[in-house]
Amino acid sequence: MDFTYEYLPWRGITADSFRQYGVLTKINSEGKPVSVGYVYPNDDCQVRLLDKKEFFWVKKGSEAPTGLFGRDKFAAGSHAYVVVTEGAADAISIHQCLGKVPAVSVQSASSAYRDCSTDLDRAYLNSFERIYLAFDGDAAGRDAVAAVARLFDYDKVYHVKFSNRKDANEYVRHGETTELLNIWKNSKKYLPESLTSSLADFDNILTAEPKWGVPYPFPTLTEMTYGIRTGESVLITAQEGVGKTELMHTILYQLLKGTDDNVGAIFLEEPPKRLLQALAGIHLQRPVHLPDSGCTSDQVRSAIRELVQKDERLHVYLNFGSDDPDLLLDNIRFLVIARKCRHIFLDHVSMVASGLLEQDERRFLDRFSTKIETMIKQLDFSLICVSHVNDFGQTRGSRYLGKIFDIRVDASRDVLSSDPVAKRTIELKISKNRYAWKTGHAGNILFDPVTYMLKEVPNATELLPVQLSERSQGLQVQGQRA
């Protein structure tokens, strides 16, 4: 088959621009353009098929590094500025838009550091006063910008940040050359993604007005913390047997009842059936897990359906007991990203590290708490987590747990008290409150053995023993009738 080669316009790029870069279009015997060839400084040619987005290389046998595409079209230091793009078509597009400013390209985001760090390419780029990095706006492009920027004096590196288009050619293709030119003109000196110094960014950060989070089921805790907010972590600590899991049940119920948010529930000391029974029990105000509760299994199932409302809203972790720590982190990430869970419950973090040697447990918990806190901030979800404490009030396994979480709520109960009301009263204290700084006593929570519910009371005497006794007798009668 006979082919011809011509300079033809394509994707908003003019024939003259292709001619300047020596980029020819291959045309078959029927007059149909089939591919475009981008020749690099060592004469290797990257071919782009036009009927589908597919690339391949035609090697010329040279042992020299491929080099930046377009480097041989502009003399070193021939202008004050140079633009580096992620693709050859992007380099031609942005040069067409900017006029005399040289534009060159790496082979891809993954090879950007290698392409720019070769002796010839690095010296070439350093010959210009400013180096503009105009890579794609995706994660790979941002990573490539960070890698390449480290090769040069930071004062001469500028970052071209695309807004509503992926790359330079997309702007040219859609006739938005003015927008592309303005983006280039407004480019700032390179700043790592983890930093910002622009007033416009500050305005965007401060746009949202401060607001209350999702209320806790306990008014004093809500008043002191301003509720449960995404992007924050809450650590509930207590010694064994105080009632931490029941506190978690009550908070989880409140989120399911009071919001439409998706929730992930990881209860490592509690089988899924008991967790669902606890939620149904709060809904029905009956200890449905007990045989004399007076509730049928149909009522329990209906209660869960009424509370959860739909599939894929409440996600219950099926593994009972300790689990692989890294797998647990992966599961949390999956719940937040794939299942859009805005709140994650973890009861309890110490269980994750059980079975490890003491030194390994500390290292793991330190690493886990750092990773999960980073994930919370990046993905914007709330984590409500339980940790046991020792006799000195220190989080078990790692003291770092109590330091890194945003809010710490300490729960205590006099389990040996002879007073039946005091024995069933959980006192909450906030020992850390990064958001609001309010610390100290955060309410008395009374456990009702008849309903298996927790409720904040002013002085823990709202339900007197005689009243509880009468209600218990009534409940027993209902159970016998059932």
Residues 435 and 350 in one domain: yes
Residues 411 and 270 in one domain: yes
pLDDT in the model for residue 177:
95
pLDDT in the model for residue 84:
97
Residues 115 and 258 in one domain: no
Residues 166 and 245 in one domain: no
Residues 160 and 247 in one domain: no
Q: Quick check: 163 and 183 in contact, CB under 8 A?
A: yes
163, 198, 233 — which closes off a domain? 198
pLDDT in the model for residue 119:
84
pLDDT in the model for residue 465:
44
Residues 347 and 449 in one domain: yes
Q: What is the average per-residue pLDDT within 84-97?
A: 96
| Distance separating alpha carbons of residues 147 and 383, to the nearest angstrom | 33
Q: Quick check: 78 and 112 in contact, CB under 8 A?
A: no
Q: What is the average per-residue pLDDT within 229-257?
A: 92
Residues 178 and 297 in one domain: no
pLDDT in the model for residue 343:
97
Q: Determine, yes or no, domain membership for 208.
A: no
pLDDT in the model for residue 60:
78
pLDDT category at 472 given cuts 50, 70, 90 is very low
| Tens-digit pLDDT profile for residues 269-290 | 888 999 999 999 999 999 999 9
Task: Report how far apart, in Å, the C-alpha atoms of 142 and of each of 112, 146, 193, 231, 310 are.
Answer: 11, 6, 8, 23, 38
pLDDT category at 463 given cuts 50, 70, 90 is very low
| Tens-digit pLDDT profile for residues 35-78 | 999 999 988 999 999 988 888 999 876 676 788 999 999 999 99
Q: What is the average per-residue pLDDT within 415-442?
A: 92
198, 230, 258 — which closes off a domain? 198
Q: What is the average per-residue pLDDT within 18-28?
A: 95
Angle at 182 between CA 176 and CA 185, to 5 degrees: 145
Predicted confidence (pLDDT) at residue 124 exceeds the cutoff of 60: yes
Q: Determine, yes or no, domain membership for 88.
A: yes
Residues 238 and 345 in one domain: yes
Higher pLDDT, 313 or 192: 313
pLDDT in the model for residue 366:
78
Residues 449 and 352 in one domain: yes
Question: Can you give the residue range of the structural domain that contains 121?
Answer: 4-198
Q: Determine, yes or no, domain membership for 203.
A: no
pLDDT in the model for residue 383:
95
Residue 328: CATH number of its domain = 3.40.50.300
pLDDT in the model for residue 462:
46
Q: Determine, yes or no, domain membership for 186.
A: yes
Q: Determine, yes or no, domain membership for 37.
A: yes
Residue 10: CATH number of its domain = 3.40.1360.10
Q: Domains in the chain: how many in total? A: 2
Residues 163 and 283 in one domain: no
Q: What is the average per-residue pLDDT within 323-328?
A: 71
167, 198, 229 — which closes off a domain? 198
| Tens-digit pLDDT profile for residues 194-234 | 788 888 888 888 887 888 899 999 999 999 999 999 999 99
- pTM for the structure as a whole: 0.67
| Distance separating alpha carbons of residues 134 and 302, to the nearest angstrom | 57
Residues 280 and 172 in one domain: no
pLDDT in the model for residue 355:
54
Q: Determine, yes or no, domain membership for 49.
A: yes
| Distance separating alpha carbons of residues 172 and 68, to the nearest angstrom | 21
pLDDT in the model for residue 479:
35
Higher pLDDT, 397 or 145: 145
Burial 306-334 (b: 16+ CB within 10 A, else e): ebbeeeebbbbbeeeebbebeebbebbbe
Q: Determine, yes or no, domain membership for 209.
A: no
pLDDT category at 474 given cuts 50, 70, 90 is very low
Q: What is the average per-residue pLDDT within 244-260?
A: 95
pLDDT category at 352 given cuts 50, 70, 90 is low
**What is the average pLDDT value for the chain, to the nearest integer?**
87
pLDDT in the model for residue 407:
94
Residues 153 and 258 in one domain: no
Q: Determine, yes or no, domain membership for 273.
A: yes
Higher pLDDT, 469 or 353: 353
| Distance separating alpha carbons of residues 479 and 12, to the nearest angstrom | 78
